[in-house]
A and B are shown apart, each in its own frame.
Chain A
Amino acid sequence: MLNINNLQASIDTGAGAKEILKGLNLEVKAGEVHAIMGPNGSGKSTLASVLAGREDYEVTGGSATFEGKDLLDLAPEERAGEGIFLAFQYPIEIPGVSNATFMKTAVNEIRKYKGQEELDAVSFLKLMKAKAAEMELNSSLLTRALNEGFSGGEKKKNEIFQMAMLEPKLAILDETDSGLDIDALKIVANGVNRFKNKDNAVIVVTHYQRLLDYIVPDFVHVLYQGRIVKSGTKELALELEAKGYDWIKEEVAAG
């Protein structure tokens, strides 16, 4: 589904370009859950942003294909149309745009992209109510402006609600667990598990192991200094939780 090959990306810091991804390889197949872990500043969020098409980053080398298509060639909205979804680490507040209007526009734009008919108001409303109930999202949040004044937990639940509405093929969750209490964490994880099936895939970007108790990964990768330096199964996440990242850093330093 997703093939990342020797991906290099940098960001313009104002004082010159700073390379963040330094030759990253990753393959994600349908039906898989991948966790990407790593210490702060290793490039986890950069990877998520580059895959979603954030313009701040410049891809300087390598490739990323999604179902055979060159992902790096596509505008962010086209990537969404192809089935990529990024759950933002910091969801943006947009005053004046209601959550429902936003969602209806997004759902129908993606349907248009896929050559499907747009949903009429009634079917959309039905779908939205059902998905919001699943995410235990207070229905008053749907009529309010997008994320405006939402609590941290509500924002994250809203991200997963959006994912459920848009039914992407590949969901990238960027530190979705940060700032969540245990109840919200469970709701979010249940949302992801409900979404998960043999035809789609999930990349969980996280700093901590705790989300992985609920969203069980098939593979765990450690991202450090812009590369994946170690891959394993869910046991690797537990090992990292117990031992921290220093031993990984030492391994890398030892070459």
Chain B
Amino acid sequence: MTNSLEAVPYLILFMTTTLDDIKSTFLAPFEDLAEKVSENINTDKLTLAKKTALEAIENNAFPTTRNEEWKFTDIKSILSNKFDLQSEKDSSNSDLDLNEFDYFLNKNKDLNSHILVFINGHFSEKHSDIKTTNDKISIKTLSNTETSSSTFEKFLDKFPSTSGKDSVSIFSDINTAFATDGYVIELENNQELELPVFVYFVNDASQKNTLSQLRNYISVGENSRCTVVENYITKGENPNLTNILTSVNVEKYANVKQYKLQIDAKSQFQVGSTHTKQADNSSFTNTTISLAGKLIRNDLRIISGEHCESFMNGLYLLNEKTHVDNHTVIDHIRPNSYSNETYKGVLDGKSRAVFNGKIFVRQAAQKTNAFQSNKNVLLSDDAILNTKPQLEIWADDVKCSHGATTGKLDEEALFYLQARGIPKQKAKVLLLQAFAEEVLDSIEIDVLKEFLTNEIENRLSL
């Protein structure tokens, strides 16, 4: 990083993009923010990273379907919108009644958890409830952390894929440059966060187009453990986009469970990535549940150390025109680790799902056990599924497997159930619940598991 970066004039930055109308339309609202970043003379890592990100935004195009990683997910529908950035801050203390559309909390008042609520990209203290913890555990927000730059610094070196030349996509750079807030959960060594942290990311799109740009950090010290549940919710029907990036640092013998719930966000566009780094002997589980969304792209990247366990569980139940794209990468760089990926999908209506799961086993990663499966049930002739498992193995003493299946509901099984007096609709529900069971079973929060089991039934009886 050199000082010359500071000289990037924001005007040129956005003038060059006139070559690409879509890009300039999308980026236009960021002009003021870009100016502030450019004019910032601080030389801390965060500021410098933001400048690097600006440069990357200038140099990189938005991915199109010609890009292999975005082949089946066309983001033109996102980019054609103009998102309002201005008066967002006001909404964080809005009178929004969470219970009104919170499928989950109001049904589970007794669910004991820390609650963080972000509305349109800004922390809402009014709606949040962070319980007291000991001083070795901290649950904060990026905007309230005076040390946001040092937090960022801590993570930057560990997660090169989150910004700059190795970033997953231009969305990550936009996030680096312009993220407004996010959660920061830090546990020192030998700590256990007993209650799960429920984070609600709310887009209030009832009045205007909304954009939430969030950057989250989870850092769990040696032999510590925590569970974080991210919920994405949209209120209203205006176009709204969540651009979110979460870095997870899992130290030795630590255990982190992260849930991503895209359940109540019908009108939402979302581009999000989770970047996890596991030190030796650690365990990480990501469970991604997608039930609604206009267009959702989830990127999950895990770098695994030695004797690690990594679980990637996914369930998508899609209908209407919902589009969900799950891209995952597990990178085994050290020996003796285990990873297991199970993604299951049920597609109805004109929905589309994309699954792309990569397993890398580096030469040093001998004795790796890596398994992957993607199974799908298509309930409608108009639903589309694109699945692509990818294994790249350089080590010679490993056990790896992958498989993908797509089919209709088993007619024989359906008839068997019907012949026992179970009506067709109910028989379908039973079979689909059974299909999803493998993923649901891995959910350790009972109320959540129960909710999802019922949701399968609700979905089908619509």
**6 closest A-B pairs by CB:** A96-B434, A80-B421, A76-B418, A110-B421, A106-B420, A96-B437
Q: Contacts A96-B435, A96-B437: A52 and B430 contacting too (C-beta < 8 A)?
A: no
Task: Give A87's nearest chain B residue, CB to CB.
Answer: B419
**Cβ B431 vs Cβ A94 within 8 A:** yes
Task: State whether the Cβ of A86 lies closer than 8 Å to any Cβ in chain B.
Answer: yes
> Across the interface, which residues of B come within 8 angstroms of A105, CB to CB?
422, 426, 430
> Across the interface, which residues of B come within 8 angstroms of A113, CB to CB?
421
Q: Contacts A96-B435, A102-B430: A80 and B420 contacting too (C-beta < 8 A)?
A: yes
Contact with A along B113-128 (1 / 0, CB 8 A): 0000000000000000
Task: State whether the Cβ of B26 lies closer than 8 Å to any Cβ in chain A.
Answer: no
Q: Contacts A53-B419, A86-B419, A166-B421: A96 and B413 contacting too (C-beta < 8 A)?
A: no
Task: State whether the Cβ of A75 lies closer than 8 Å to any Cβ in chain B.
Answer: yes
Q: Contacts A97-B430, A97-B434: A102 and B417 contacting too (C-beta < 8 A)?
A: yes
Give the bracket for the number of chain B residues in contact with chain A.
20 to 34
> Across the interface, which residues of A come within 8 angstroms of B160, CB to CB?
none
> Across the interface, which residues of A come within 8 angstroms of B424, CB to CB?
75, 77
> Across the interface, which residues of B come within 8 angstroms of A106, CB to CB?
417, 420-422
Contact with B along A103-144 (1 / 0, CB 8 A): 001100110010000000000000000000000000000000
B350 CB, min distance to chain A CBs, angstroms? 26
Q: Which residues of B contact A (CB under 8 A)?
A: 410-413, 415-424, 426-427, 430-431, 433-435, 437-438
> Across the interface, which residues of B come within 8 angstroms of A166, CB to CB?
420-421
Task: State whether the Cβ of A18 lies closer than 8 Å to any Cβ in chain B.
Answer: no
**Cβ A97 vs Cβ B416 within 8 A:** no
A95 and B420 CA atoms in complex are apart in Å by 17
> Across the interface, which residues of A come within 8 angstroms of B415, CB to CB?
53-55, 76
A92 and B434 CA atoms in complex are apart in Å by 14
Q: Contacts A94-B413, A105-B426: A81 and B420 contacting too (C-beta < 8 A)?
A: no
Q: Which of A81, A88, A101 contacts B416 (CB 8 A)?
A: A88
A91 and B417 CA atoms in complex are apart in Å by 11
By CB atoms of chain B within 10 A, which of A76, A94, A110 has the most? Answer: A76
Q: Which of A53, A86, A109 contacts B422 (CB 8 A)?
A: A109
**Cβ B421 vs Cβ A81 within 8 A:** yes
Task: Give B432's nearest chain A residue, CB to CB.
Answer: A96
